[in-house]
Amino acid sequence: MLRKCAKLLFVWTFLVTWSASFALAESAIMTYDQLAASIDGSSGYKTISKVKPAEPVTTKVKPSIMRGLEGISRINPMNWAQDNLLPVPAQGQFVAGPKALFARVHGEARRSLAGAAFTGSPADFNNNLGLKKSGNVIWSVEAAYQLRPKFSLRYSFTPIKMDGSGTNASAFSFAGQLFAAETQIFSRWERFEHRAGIGINLINTSSSRTNLFAEWMYIQDKLTVGSAVGTTGAFTWDDSRNLAVVGLEFEKALKNWRGNTLALNCKADIAFLSDSFGFDAETALNYMIPIKTGRFGFVKGGYRYSYFQKDLKQDALNTTLDGAFVQVGFLF
């Protein structure tokens, strides 16, 4: 009897042990997430779970006005090529050189006798006086001396001499004489222009500079008109004017290459007084080549437009010169 009880106790103990081991094996194959969840859930802590990040949401934003202005601001020449260096004259240095303007010439003149009851009719430079409209080469000389780091002295001289001839397209009167249509006309226009003044450096950076200049300008015009045939003689109108000139000049380095410099040069001015008005504007590219330390030769090319007007009750003289120009010179 005791032997049977012992066997039964052994079998029972074996079954309990096997069941317990089987249950423990099943609990061991649970996943990490389930074990973590069971542990966290039993301990009262917040459950940690893997979460897939959400897809980014694309939102369309209407560009502001200031963002648009940022692109426009790139047009400002002051922001171009800021790392480049612009050669400028030091105190005691000169900038000088001749300039050739390949000009188209337009003009109109009216000259009446003093005390005449009737004013003369306008004569067109091209249609009535036979002056060439294009293909004219006008020379000038420009020079500047850097007196102080911010002040310079300036001077320029421009002589003009043009002869014209041809058949008068329409009747006009000049200095009290009537020139009928289809009349053979000869004419001569001479102008001597002197400018002298001072330049003031307003803004000066390593790559650009802006100058304000004020000048006195003296202009002398001589216009001679006559008939090539017949008894009508030649009449000369000699007129001189003193004008004040105020303008701005801007220079900006665009590229440095092996010591050479490519720069942008822009200049504009207005002239007034003596019953006259005028303006002059030009823009050009300037290529500067080093010769010695602090000395450069340069070649400049661009476009120029010049207009002057004198308009009184008895007399009037309006002229326009425009075209490409080339200038060579030295900074020394």
- Tell me the pLDDT tens digit for each residue of 271-296: 999 899 999 999 999 999 999 888 99
pLDDT in tens, 32-58: 444 344 444 444 444 455 556 556 555
Place of tokens 């008894």: 231
| H-state helical runs in the chain | 2-28, 32-43, 65-72
Residue 62 has a pLDDT of 56
Choice among 13-17, 165-169, 314-318 with the minimum mean pLDDT: 13-17
Residue among 104, 134, 125, 140 nearest 224 (CA): 125
Tally of CB atoms within 10 A around 118: 9
pLDDT band at 177 (very low <50, low <70, confident <90, very high): confident
Residue 9 has a pLDDT of 45
Pick the most confident of 107-121, 199-213, 231-245: 199-213
Residue among 141, 140, 142, 152 nearest 93 (CA): 152
Q: Is 77 helix (H, G, I), strand (E, B) or coil?
A: helix
| H-state helical runs in 29-162 | 32-43, 65-72
Q: Is the pTM of this model over 0.75?
A: no
Q: Which two tokens stand for residue 38?
A: 């069971």
Residue 222 host element (H or E): strand 208-227
Residue 115 has a pLDDT of 57
Residue among 250, 142, 237, 233 nearest 196 (CA): 142
Name residues whose C-beta falls within 8 Å of residue 312's C-beta, 6 or more positions apart in sequence.
Answer: 275
pLDDT in tens, 125-164: 999 999 999 999 999 999 999 999 999 999 999 999 999 9
The torsion of the CA quartet 139, 94, 283, 307, rounded to 10 degrees, works out to -50
